[in-house]
Structure 1
Amino acid sequence: MSYHAKQTTIFWYDLETFGLDSRYDRIAQFAGQRTDLDLNPIGEPVVLYAKLSDDYLPDPLSCTITGITPQEVNRKGLCESELIERINAEFSKPNTVVAGFNNIRFDDEFIRNALYRNFLDPYKREWDNNCSRWDIIDLVRAAYDLRPEGIKWPPRKEETGNPTFRLTALTEANDIEQVGAH
Structure 2
Amino acid sequence: MKTYLFYDVETSGLNPAFDQILTFACIRTDLFLKEISRELITIKLRRDIIPSPHAFITHCLTQKELESGITEYPAAKRIHLLFNTPGTISLGYNSLGFDDEFLRFLFYRNLLDPYAHQYANQCSRMDLLPVTTLFKVFCDHVLEWPHLTDGRTSLKLELLSQKNAFMTSGRAHEAMNDVEAVIELARIFSRQKDIWEYALAFFNKTKDSLRINSMEKGYRVG
1:164 aligns with 2:137: no
2:17, 2:63 → 1: CA distance?
A: 19
Structure 2 unaligned regions, length at least 5: 171-176, 179-222
Question: Which residue in 2 is equivalent to 1:120?
Answer: 112
Larger radius of gyration: 2
2:133, 2:49 → 1: CA distance?
A: 36
2:93, 2:168 → 1: CA distance?
A: 14
Identity of counterpart residues, as a percentage? Answer: 34
1:153 aligns with 2:124: no
| 1:131 to partner: Cα distance | 0.2
Question: Which residue in 2 is equivalent to 1:40?
Answer: 34
Q: What's the TM-score, normalizing by structure 1?
A: 0.90
Question: Which residue in 2 is equivalent to 1:31?
Answer: 25
Q: Number of aligned residue pairs: give it.
A: 172
Structure 1 unaligned regions, length at least 5: 1-6
Contact 1:92 1:129 in 2 (8 A): yes
Question: Which residue in 2 is equivalent to 1:140?
Answer: 132
Measured at CA, do residues 33 and 117 of structure 1 come closer, stay the same or move farther in structure 2, by a change above 3 Å? same
SS in 2 for 1:175: coil
1:110 aligns with 2:99: no
1:69, 1:84 → 2: CA distance?
A: 21
1:136, 1:56 → 2: CA distance?
A: 30
Structure whose residues are more often helix by fraction? 2
Matches within 5 A, 1:74-85: 74=67, 76-85=68-77
Match of 1:174 among 141, 164, 183: 164
1:73 aligns with 2:66: yes
Residues 10-61 of structure 1, C-alpha deviations (whole Å, 9 max, x = no match): 0110001111111111111000010001111113x10001112212121122
Contact 2:80 2:112 in 1 (8 A): no
Q: What's the TM-score, normalizing by structure 2?
A: 0.74
Question: Which residue in 1 is equivalent to 2:5?
Answer: 11
Question: Which residue in 1 is equivalent to 2:48?
Answer: 55
> After the TM superposition, which of the residue ranges 85-94 and 172-181 deviates more from structure 2?
172-181
| 1:157 to partner: Cα distance | 5.2
Measured at CA, do residues 23 and 157 of structure 1 come closer, stay the same or move farther in structure 2, by a change above 3 Å? farther
Residues 104-154 of structure 1, C-alpha deviations (whole Å, 9 max, x = no match): 100001000111111112111111100000101111000001111121100
Structure whose residues are more often strand by fraction? 1
